[in-house]
Amino acid sequence: MNLHVNYMGLPLKSPIVVSASPLSEKVENIIAMEKAGAGAVVMFSLFEEQIRSEEAIYEEILEQSAYSSAEALSYFPSVSEYPVGIDAYLRIIEKASKEVEIPIIGSLNGITNSGWIDYAKHIEEAGAKGLEINVYYIPADIEMDGRTVEDKYLEIIGLVKKAVSIPVAVKLNPYFSAMANMAKNLDGAGADALVLFNRFYEPDFDIEKMTISHALQLSGPGEIRLSLQWIAILYGRLNASLAASTGVSSSREVIKYILAGANCAMTASALLKHGISYITHMLDEI
C-alpha cells in the first residue's frame, strides 16, 4: 500500500511523524525511527530561555573564576565557543541529517524576536528540512487581551518566515476564542503547516505529600477528538498542511486523523510507552 503523503511541501514515505519528545535527543533513536517507518522526525524543542540561563550561569562562573585566579580563567573558552544548549542541539540535527533520509524538522521555542530569528537560521543551517515553532505561551497576564496574544503568534511566524527558506509549521494550543479565524490568519502570515494541538503541562497537587506535582501524563486515544474536530473543520480551507497531534495510540487514531483531513499524524506518548518499533506495528495495521 502506498502511504506516501505530502506535509508542508515535504514528500514523506509515511503519514506517521514522530512528534517532539526526548526520544529525538539521541541520533541512534532517530535512525531507529526511520527504520521503523516514520515519515519524518520533529526534534525536541530548543528553548531560548534555557540557553539564556545556561549562558548566564556560564558568565557567572567566568566572573567568579576571574576573581579567584587568573589562571583558572584561561581554562574557560569564550562564551561563543562554549558548548551551551544550542551547539549540542545543532550537532544532533547535523548528525541525524547525515544519517537518515527522512526529513528532520527542528523545533524552536523562542522568547525574544532576535532569538526566534537567529536560532531559526541556525537550525536551517544545521540541515533541518523544516521548522516547527512551538510558541507554548500561557497568557497569564490578566491585562492582556486575546488580540494581543494572536498578534504575537502572527508576528513570530512573520519573523521566522523571513529568516529561513525551509517550510515553517506552527504548533498551536486549542485555546483561541476563534480558532478557525486564527488558523486563517496564520495561513495568511505564511505558515506552511499547523500542528493541532500541543498539549500543555498542567500542574496538579499531590495531596498526600502536600506538594505541587508536575508529573507528565502520557496521552490516551480518548484525547483525539478536539484535534479531530478542528482538522475536519479546517480541511480544504487553508493552504497550510495540517498535522494531527495528541492521542495517537494505535493505527486507529492515525486512520481517523487522515479521514478528517490531516496530512500526517504525529505521535509522542505512544512511542514513549511502547518504544520506537511501535511505528512499524501501526503502519502494518494501516
Ligand X SMILES: Cc1cc2nc3c(=O)[nH]c(=O)nc-3n(C[C@H](O)[C@H](O)[C@H](O)COP(=O)(O)O)c2cc1C
CB of 50 to ligand X, least distance (A): 10
CB of 218 to ligand X, least distance (A): 6
User: Which of 7, 15, 19, 100 touches ligand X by CB under 6 A?
Assistant: 19
- Interface with ligand X, residue 256, by CB under 6 A: no
Query: What distance in Å separates the CA atoms of residue 149 and residue 165, rounded to the nearest whole number?
Result: 25
CB of 172 to ligand X, least distance (A): 10
CB 245 within 8 A of CB 263: no
* x-or-dash string of contact with ligand X, 83-122, rule CB under 6 A: ------------------------x---------------
Phi and psi at residue 44, to the nearest 5°: -60, 160
Query: What distance in Å separates the CA atoms of residue 169 and residue 195, rounded to the nearest whole number?
Result: 7
- Interface with ligand X, residue 134, by CB under 6 A: yes
Between 14 and 245, name the residue whose CB sits nearer to ligand X: 245
Q: Which of 278, 276, 280, 284 is nearest to 23 (CA)?
A: 276
Between 80 and 204, name the residue whose CB sits nearer to ligand X: 204
Phi and psi at residue 131, to the nearest 5°: -135, 135
Between 44 and 153, name the residue whose CB sits nearer to ligand X: 44
Between 189 and 268, name the residue whose CB sits nearer to ligand X: 268
Between 121 and 274, name the residue whose CB sits nearer to ligand X: 274
User: Which of 164, 267, 276, 282 touches ligand X by CB under 6 A?
Assistant: 267
**In this chain, which stretch among 76-84, 152-160, 162-170, 246-254 interacts with ligand X, using CB under 6 A?**
246-254
* x-or-dash string of contact with ligand X, 188-227, rule CB under 6 A: ----------xx----------------x-xx--------
- Interface with ligand X, residue 20, by CB under 6 A: yes
**In this chain, which stretch among 15-23, 29-37, 75-83, 184-192 interacts with ligand X, using CB under 6 A?**
15-23
User: Which of 269, 282, 283, 286 touches ligand X by CB under 6 A?
Assistant: 269
- Interface with ligand X, residue 248, by CB under 6 A: yes
User: Which of 5, 8, 10, 21 touches ligand X by CB under 6 A?
Assistant: 21
- Interface with ligand X, residue 263, by CB under 6 A: no
Query: Cis omega (within 30 of 0) on the bond before 197?
Result: yes
Q: Which residues bind ligand X (CB under 6 A)?
A: 19-22, 44-45, 107, 134, 171, 198-199, 216, 218-219, 245-248, 267-270, 272
